[in-house]
Amino acid sequence: MESRASPPGRIHLVRSVPIYNSIMRVTLFGASGLLGQDLVQELKAEQLTALSSKDADLRDHSRVRDVIRDSRPDWVVLSAAYADVDGCESNRDLAFAVNFEGAVNVAESAREAGSRLMFLSTDYVFDGTKGSPYQTIDARKPINVYGESKARAEERLLEILPEACIARTSWLFGHGGKCFPATILKLASTRPEISVVNDQRGSPTFTRDLASTLVQLCRASARGIVHVTNSGNCTWYEFAREIVRVSELPTAVKPVTTAEFPRPAPRPAYSVLAPDSLHAYNVRMPELQDALRRYLGSAPAVSASEVP
């Protein structure tokens, strides 16, 4: 155990970081989510306490504190969130209750237990006007409620736990839940043509690759803000076109503008995250094309009855 600076009259102990080959004790919030399911698989060799929202509601400070105190983790990984971007726009109070207040509950409990914290954040903390990859030092300027709740959480968590790791990622896709490629495959299986937005650019990220990288960052004792996405970027239209092409489907993909498909929550037009902060830990994410091929190669078949 080692101590670090703490407020007068208060002793705060931080558990020493485990050596690389030791078994980590990890408490995971959000185990049933798209990313959480892959994190559970990636952490199966560790001493893992995995909780879904049914097991522990982030808004319940006492429950969160008890879970972390009892599991005594080296790392707390917080991938749970209210991530319905449009839903957040019309439910601001709920978005902040889960994404901000809930995250604060976890951070305060991790501090009390002497645990490290990894918090999953988003490219939507930016407004999308930069036009070149965002660095970790770029100012947060969210344009929707979801991004705002995550941006405020980032700021507060780094005040509570300066050694926390904020892992920003984007455009997640994976198995075990709704995601963009799954939707495109469903639509393309029954329609001759689909229309997809072509004026929003970002970096789709395969949850299997993300989970592996997050564990590597824990092993590397990462701290501060790290951008973690698959290498490469595209628009939603370009992504859809590649999904259809690799899947050898005959469906035509038509590019359209965001204005033609208005949504309750505005999206940044450009939210590519620069990988420099990840490379600083000598970690690199696979190329997007490779990630998509692996996802499609293990994707379950879609029947016509599954298409909405």
**By C-alpha distance, which of 301, 175, 184 is closest to 245?**
184
Strand pairing class (47-51; 205-206): unpaired
- Which has the closest alpha carbon to 41: 289, 241, 214? 214
Angle made by CA atoms 215, 221, 227, in degrees to the nearest 5: 65
Provide the annotated active-site residues: 146
Which stretches within the chain are classed as H helix?
Answer: 34-42, 61-71, 85-90, 92-96, 103-113, 145-160, 180-188, 207-219, 236-246, 276-279, 288-297
Q: How many CB atoms lie within 10 A of CB 108?
A: 18
- Sign (positive or negative) of CA dihedral 289, 222, 121, 125: negative
| DSSP state, residue 306 | G
Query: How far is it, in rounded angstroms, from Cα 251 to Cα 237?
Result: 13
Amino acid at position 129, single letter: T
- The alpha carbon of 143 is separated from its chain's Cα centroid by a whole number of angstroms, namely 18
Complete DSSP assignment for 159-194: HH-TT-EEEEE-SEE-SSS--HHHHHHHHHTT-SEE
